[in-house]
Amino acid sequence: MSETPAIELPDGVYWVDQCYEMTERHHHISPYLVDAPEGYVLVETGAIEHQDVLRERIGEVVGDAGVAAAVFSHYDLPHVANARAFREGWDFDLYTSFSGTSASPEALGMGPSTGVMHDETREICGRTLSFPWPPLVDAAHSMWVYDHGSKTMFVADMGHYHWPGDCRVVCRSVDDLPSVDDIRAYNEDALPFVKYLDAEKMRGAFEELVDTYDVEVWAPVHGNPIVGASTIDAYLDRAVEAIAETAAASAP
C-alpha cells in the first residue's frame, strides 16, 4: 500500500490526488475513479510526470478488476498524458469529447474511442453519466462529467491553487475552502480570459448548473474536492468574487 492511497469520496468515487509543488502554492492535476456496477471508470489520467505513482495508486483501488472504462473531458496533456500507458495495462473502453480537436484520439496513439457530445447522457459500466456544457473552460470542446449515482460533477479546467499541507484536504465545510485569492490566482494563470467575464452572468450559469444536476460533490481535476451542496454554493460564491476581482483589476 502506498503512503498516500486514493481518498474515498461519497458513493464509490475516489480522488487519486496528485499535485505539483510550485513556488508557494501547489497545483493539483488529479484523476478520479468511479466504482460502477460493471467496472471502474477512470475520469482523466493525470500528468505524465506522475505516471508511475498514479498507476500504483489506481491499481490499489481497482485490484484485479482493472479499469473498465475511461472518460476524458478534452485532449490537453494534464488530462490524457497517461492514457496510452494505462491502456496497455488496463484494456479499457475510452469515451472522449467528440468535437473540435478532440475528434481523433487515434492520432495521439490512444486507440479506438467512442465520441460523446455536449448535453448527452450515457450508461457507462452501469453508471449514468451526463456531459453538460461547462460554464468555464479553456477550450470550446471541453466537457465536464456528471455522475448521477454519486451526484458528482467532475470539473475539467476551473480550479484553484492550494497551500502546502492542504494537498489532501477534502473541503467539507466553509472553513476548508480555498480563498478567493487562491481561486483568482489560478484563474489568472490558467484561464486568462476570466478578466473579460461578467461575474453576475457567471453566477447565474453556476447556479443553473448545480440546480439542473443536483450536485453534491464538486470534483475538480485542478483543485481539492468539495462535498455538500451548501459548501459548493459557498465555493462558487468565492469563484464569482474572484472573477469580479480579476475583471476590476484589468479595467482601464
Counted domains in the chain: 1
Within-domain flag for 2: no
In order along its 252 residues, the chain shows pLDDT tens digits of 667 899 999 999 999 999 988 888 999 999 999 999 999 999 998 888 899 999 999 999 999 999 999 998 877 767 778 888 899 999 999 888 765 444 556 666 667 778 888 899 999 999 999 999 999 887 767 889 999 999 999 998 899 999 999 999 999 999 999 999 999 999 999 898 999 999 999 999 999 999 999 999 999 999 999 999 999 999 999 999 999 998 887 766
User: Considering the domain boundaries, does residue 183 fall inside one?
Assistant: yes
244 located within any domain: yes
168 is a domain residue: yes
pLDDT at residue 1, rounded to an integer = 67
Would residue 134 count as lying in a domain? yes
Predicted local distance difference test score (pLDDT) of residue 225: 98
pLDDT of res. 100: 43
Instruction: Specify whether the CB–CB gap between 233 and 210 falls below 8 A.
Output: yes
Enclosing domain of residue 148: 7-250
Backbone angles phi, psi at 82, to 5 degrees: -100, 10
Position 165 in a domain: yes
pLDDT digit string (tens) for 41-60? 999 988 888 999 999 999 99
Q: Are 178 and 162 in contact (CB under 8 A)?
A: yes
First vs last Cα of the chain: how many Å apart?
54
Residue 1 lies in a domain: no
**Per-residue pLDDT tens over the stretch 171-206:** 999 999 999 999 999 999 989 899 999 999 999 999
Q: CB–CB of 187/194 below 8 Å?
A: yes
Give the relative orientation of helices 229-250 and 199-213 as an angle to the nearest 10 degrees: 160
Distances (CA, A) of 208 to 78, 123, 151, 159, 202: 28, 23, 15, 19, 10
149-173 burial by CB neighbour count: b if 16+ within 10 A, else e? bbbbbbbbbbbbbbeeebbebbbee
Cell numbers for 174, please give them.
Answer: 466553509
Q: What is the CATH number of the domain that holds 204?
A: 3.60.15.10
